[in-house]
Chain A
Amino acid sequence: MNKEKKRELLLPGDIIEEEDCRPGRGTYKKERNIYASKLGVKTFRSGYVNIAAQRGRYDPNRGDKVIGTVTDLNPSIWMVDINAAFSAILHVNDVPWRVEFGDTISYIDVGDAILVKISNVDELKKVQIRMDEEGLRKLNSGQIIEIAPSQVPRVIGRKGSMITMLKNYTGCRIFVGQNGRIWIDGDLEGQYIAVKAVQMIEEKAQAVGLTDAVKEFLKNETGKDFDQEE
């Protein structure tokens, strides 16, 4: 298939002219046809045709790593905002500590940011998250910024190229949650530049030449040049 066609923006109700595909995310089937149900472009994976939504809130997927902010707690659970339609639930059994009933507040408080994994999404769209696997944790320093979930692949870049570049130049630790929240930690100057770079990635309409433009920006801001080493 040619690229022109692939890039076409589909709108809700637009027919997806593909044969031998099953309807995936962002699509629906009616009679014999598959239609887009969201604004986006079509992608293919494992025999499914999907619409990669260009807009909208985060749609939780089991296995996704996301960044949440705690909004409420009770003796046995924390309610966590993950930028989706509903708050997710973190149960005391799903954290790396043994928490006594009623002692949740000593471990994670309202306003804390946490890096978690979606463990289940039920039919009622109730989302459960867990924090008891390697790499998942409470985020004690740095900051969280938010981008549209559809822009996450841009910030990561092909095979992680963009994110690696950001980390190298700014010296920051960076984690991009699938829900569009990005954690950035490092010295003040590094964080400041990293935030600017992410905004640049989000705002730049064209992806063509984006990597070079961001690299140029990072070189100018940090005075570093990693091209020799590459």
Chain B
Amino acid sequence: MGMDSDIKLIDENGLRLDGRKFDELREIKIEAGVLQRADGSAYLTWGENKVMAAVYGPRELHPRHAQNPSKAVVQARYNMAAFSVSDRKRPGPDRRSVEISKLISEALEEIVFVEQFPRAAVDVFIEVLEASAGTRCAALTAASVALADAGIPMSDMIASCAAGKIDGHVVLDLGQKEDNFGEADVPLAIVPRTDKVTLLQMDGDLTTEEFDKAMELAVGACKEIYEIQRDALKRRYSTSLEGYEDFEEDE
């Protein structure tokens, strides 16, 4: 946040650098079940962001001493490909990706019925193949679809989106330059059905009124994103249900 710059992020017509209105999302597309080896997967594009998420499990957690005898451990690994950003990123975890992995794991643990799988691991691998601001929200949104795709028992799905402040205005879903030169960023994730917050971070400078406005924008967008998530799963599996009643075990 807050690199000093003369760059103007909102023009005289109230439009942003990429022509979006203040409450407009970048284009989001999701495909479910795209990988063969993983138990579940999702590929998501969000503006220029490209994110692949894969789920393995529930499976035996190694090493054994890390097992929890009363519930499964949800382990998300957020990783950025070396070529995903403008300056090559050195492979392997850094402090930022370790923190994001932790927050994503915790957010997902909230919706997974972890108590059904004592001693197990639910592994969520998220690869950011191209990054252009908002990757943690993209990652969590894709991970949630991949979990459902893996048939993991869960109470709900999670959708995630950020809002922020640029040129003194609260706007939705910051793009790369807005992220670099804006005044605040608020990544948020919710359970859309229950309106509960599962991830929240903030950096920058906001009044409480501005924060309320940012949260309202992000929540509204999460509900839109939830529909995109649902559509991805339905598109992928609805056709395989045709004629399903032929095999059904009715009484």
Chain B 187-240 residues near chain A, CB threshold 8 A: 191, 193, 230, 233-234, 237-240
Please tell me if the beta carbons of A43 and B237 are within 8 angstroms of each other in the complex: no
B183 to chain A, nearest CB (A): 35
Using Cβ atoms and an 8 Å threshold, which residues of chain A touch B242? 7, 205-208
User: A164 interface residue, CB < 8 Å from B?
Assistant: no
Please tell me if the beta carbons of A9 and B251 are within 8 angstroms of each other in the complex: no
Using Cβ atoms and an 8 Å threshold, which residues of chain B touch A13? 154-157, 191, 193
User: B151 interface residue, CB < 8 Å from A?
Assistant: yes
Please tell me if the beta carbons of B237 and A28 are within 8 angstroms of each other in the complex: no
**Beta-carbon contacts of A76-102 to B below 8 Å, as 1s and 0s?**
000000000111000000000000000
Please tell me if the beta carbons of A43 and B117 are within 8 angstroms of each other in the complex: no
User: A44 interface residue, CB < 8 Å from B?
Assistant: yes
B14 to chain A, nearest CB (A): 36
Using Cβ atoms and an 8 Å threshold, which residues of chain B touch A86? 59-60, 119-120
Question: How many B residues touch A, CB cutoff 8 Å?
Answer: 45
User: B241 interface residue, CB < 8 Å from A?
Assistant: yes
User: B153 interface residue, CB < 8 Å from A?
Assistant: yes
Q: Interface with B: A105-113, A150-158, A168-176, A181-189, which one?
A: A150-158
Chain A 103-134 residues near chain B, CB threshold 8 A: 123-125
Q: Give A38 to B244 CA distance when docked, in angstroms.
A: 17
Using Cβ atoms and an 8 Å threshold, which residues of chain B touch A153? 247-249
Please tell me if the beta carbons of A12 and B156 are within 8 angstroms of each other in the complex: yes
User: B175 interface residue, CB < 8 Å from A?
Assistant: no
A143 to chain B, nearest CB (A): 20
A55 to chain B, nearest CB (A): 4
Please tell me if the beta carbons of B251 and A35 are within 8 angstroms of each other in the complex: no
User: A3 interface residue, CB < 8 Å from B?
Assistant: yes
Tell whether A37 pairs with B113 under 8 Å between CB atoms, given A13-B155, A207-B243.
Answer: yes
A61 to chain B, nearest CB (A): 13
**Beta-carbon contacts of B168-184 to A below 8 Å, as 1s and 0s?**
00000000000000000
Chain A 158-206 residues near chain B, CB threshold 8 A: 158, 205-206
Please tell me if the beta carbons of A6 and B151 are within 8 angstroms of each other in the complex: no
Q: Which of A44, A52, A56 has the most CB of B within 10 A?
A: A56
B66 to chain A, nearest CB (A): 15
Please tell me if the beta carbons of A205 and B239 are within 8 angstroms of each other in the complex: yes
User: A45 interface residue, CB < 8 Å from B?
Assistant: yes
Using Cβ atoms and an 8 Å threshold, which residues of chain A touch B148? 11-12, 38-39
User: B133 interface residue, CB < 8 Å from A?
Assistant: no
Closest to A87 in B: B60
Beyond the given pairs A38-B148, A86-B60, 7 more chain A to chain B contacts, judged by CB atoms under 8 angstroms and listed by A's residue number, are A3-B245, A7-B241, A7-B245, A45-B251, A125-B117, A158-B247, A210-B243
Interchain residue pairs A-B with the least CB separation, the first 4: A56-B151, A207-B243, A55-B151, A13-B156
